């Protein structure tokens, strides 16, 4: 009787663990790619906003405006690189 109780409990625990692990694995895959693209666009929008704020406050030739123009350029390049990599993934399929 004791062996049957243990195997029943063990079987239920293994089944629950596998089901939960499979759910978490499948649930975490899709948002990871979407978040990467969203983060890229959010970062580019933030640097663009900071650049325009620096131009309004300090002028277009200030060190703050030059800094945020550089950061904006890097963010846009990062998004372009991300888009090229993503497009390359579709070409390989």
So where are the chain's domains? 2-92
- Up-side HSE of residue 63: CA atoms within 13 Å toward CB? 0
Could you report the per-residue pLDDT of 39-62, keeping only the tens digit for each? 888 999 999 999 999 999 999 999
Q: Residue 65 in contact with residue 59, Cβ under 8 Å?
A: yes
Q: Residue 65 in contact with residue 55, Cβ under 8 Å?
A: yes
Using the predicted structure, report yes or no on whether residue 21 has a pLDDT greater than 90. no
- Up-side HSE of residue 33: CA atoms within 13 Å toward CB? 8
The predicted model gives 76-91 an average pLDDT of 78
Using the predicted structure, report yes or no on whether residue 2 has a pLDDT greater than 80. no
pLDDT, position 47: 95
pLDDT, position 6: 53
């Amino acid at each position: 009787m004791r062996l049957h109780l243990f195997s029943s409990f063990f079987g239920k625990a293994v089944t629950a663990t596998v089901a939960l692990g499979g759910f978490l694995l499948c649930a975490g895959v899709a948002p990871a790619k979407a978040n990467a693209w969203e983060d890229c666009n959010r970062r580019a929008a933030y640097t663009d906003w900071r650049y325009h704020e620096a131009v309004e406050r300090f002028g277009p030739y200030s060190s703050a405006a030059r800094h945020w123009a550089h950061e904006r350029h890097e963010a846009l390049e990062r998004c372009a690189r991300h888009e090229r990599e993503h497009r390359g993934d579709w070409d390989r399929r």
